[in-house]
Amino acid sequence: MNRIFKYFSLAVIALSLTACSQAQSTTITASKLDLGPFPISTGTVMFTPVNTLGTPIAFADGTGAQHGTTAFSCEVSAGAITGAIT
């Protein structure tokens, strides 16, 4: 009985550690950016990662690369975000 409890405890600890280590991820897409009744034909949209207080923050992207607090831009064409964030 003691051995089963020990294995169960280790399993619970292992599962709780993996649950805590999940990263937050945000995907940004757009297919209908408009100004009034007309879609934006071309342009650039800027994104700045911020914390809950609105302060710009540094972060690691999905590949593990570190980024500072600078804004990122995306091209807009025919009212939709096209290409990758640069």
In this predicted structure, what is the pLDDT of residue 86? 63
Q: What are phi and psi of 7, to 5 degrees?
A: -65, -40
In the chain, the amino acid numbered 64 is G
In this predicted structure, what is the pLDDT of residue 9? 63
In the chain, the amino acid numbered 33 is L
- Cα(24)–Cα(60) distance, integer angstroms: 10
Q: Which residues in the chain show pLDDT less than 50? A: 19-21
In this predicted structure, what is the pLDDT of residue 25? 65
List the chain domain ranges.
26-82
Q: What is the pLDDT of residues 46-58, one digit of tens each?
A: 888 888 888 888 8
